[in-house]
Structure formats: C-alpha cells, structure tokens
Amino acid sequence: MATYETTSYAQMRRCRMAHLYGRMIDERFSEALESSSSDNAHVGGYVHSVRPDLTCWPLRWTVTVEAFPVAARSMALAG
C-alpha cells in the first residue's frame, strides 16, 4: 500500500467516491509521502482510506491506495 497527499478538493472527492463504491482509481498525485522524488506519481488501484489533515491551510488529504498490478495483455489471434 502506498500513501499519497493532495490539496485538490476535486481529486479528494474522486478518491472518496471510489472508496465508497469500491471502484478503482486512475489518478496522478503530485507528491508521494513514501518516496523522496518530486515527480508526479501515476496511481491505479483501490482506495483504502481518505483522511483529512486539519492542522494546515490549505486543507490536505492523505489517500492510502493499494496498487493494482496490470496483467500482461495478450492479443487475440484473428482467424
């Protein structure tokens, strides 16, 4: 599981709705808490939690995501 942080209300809302309905997300987070790189993190998987950080302004939300591995795609043979 990976933890990401966002200040975007719209992104938090999409993650919260995906968590509520058990759907996968496909989001790009600008900052990952577990890695020290400043690159954008492209995340796909199931959301486990969305928690607000009420100690700062603007508000931040911490999103915990279980990454979903994508299986290798095989092409169907045309007959």
Question: Would you say residue 61 lies in a domain?
Answer: yes
pLDDT band at 37 (very low <50, low <70, confident <90, very high): low
Q: Over the stretch 38-79, which tens digit does the pLDDT of each residue have?
A: 567 788 899 999 999 999 888 999 999 998 765 544 445 454
Who wins on pLDDT, 77 or 9? Answer: 9
Q: From CA 13, how far away is CA 50, in angstroms rounded?
A: 9
> Looking at residue 67, what is its pLDDT?
81
Mean pLDDT of 3-25: 93
Asked if residue 41 belongs to a domain, the reply is yes
Tokens standing for 70? 């994508």
Residue-range definition of the domain harbouring residue 31: 2-67
Residue 18 lies in a domain: yes
Count of domains forming the chain: 1
Whether residue 53 is contained in a domain is answered as yes
Residue 39 lies in a domain: yes
In a domain, residue 79? The reply is no
> Does 8 reside within a domain?
yes
Which is more confidently placed, 36 or 63? Answer: 63
Report the distance separating Cα 47 and Cα 3, nearest Å: 10
In this predicted structure, what is the pLDDT of residue 72?
44
